[in-house]
Amino acid sequence: MASGNAIRGSRVGAGPMGEAERGDSAPRLRISFWCSNGHETQPSFASDAQIPETWDCPRCGFPAGKDEENPPDPPRTEPYKTHLAYVRERRSDEDGEAILAEALAKLRGEI
């Protein structure tokens, strides 16, 4: 390796090796995000872009954050429970059973 440098002795004054060429006018940053499932994703951003706090994990769709130790909580969407609780508040048990029977009938394909 040293002999290679000796042969190409004309480049005195060139930067230390490893200095990348700067032809790219828009350098990009790769930022790592981790979701709560431990998936790492590395979207790249323009160096002047705003880096978002969270990024959607491309593998599971959970939000991913920049702190590997502390990924954001997965979204808790349980609309059914909430809806059922809401219905229960408004209706008597009898109505609730009728709704349940109807739902079961739908499941069986009777309606």
Residues 6+ apart with CB under 8 A from 74: 35, 36, 37, 62, 63
Choices 44-52, 60-68, 85-93, 98-106; region in contact with Zn ion by CB under 5 A = 60-68
Q: Give the pairing type, strands 44-46 and 40-41.
A: unpaired
Among 59, 83, 88, 91, binds Zn ion (CB under 5 A): 59
Total residue count of the chain as it appears in this document? 111
Q: Which two structure tokens, joined as six digits, stand for 52?
A: 């978002």
Q: Which of 60, 98, 100, 101 binds Zn ion (CB under 5 A)?
A: 60
- The yes or no reply on residue 35 touching Zn ion (CB under 5 A) is yes
Does position 42 bind Zn ion by CB under 5 A? Answer: no
Residues at the site binding Zn ion, with contacts judged by CB under 5 A: 35, 37, 39, 57, 59-60, 62
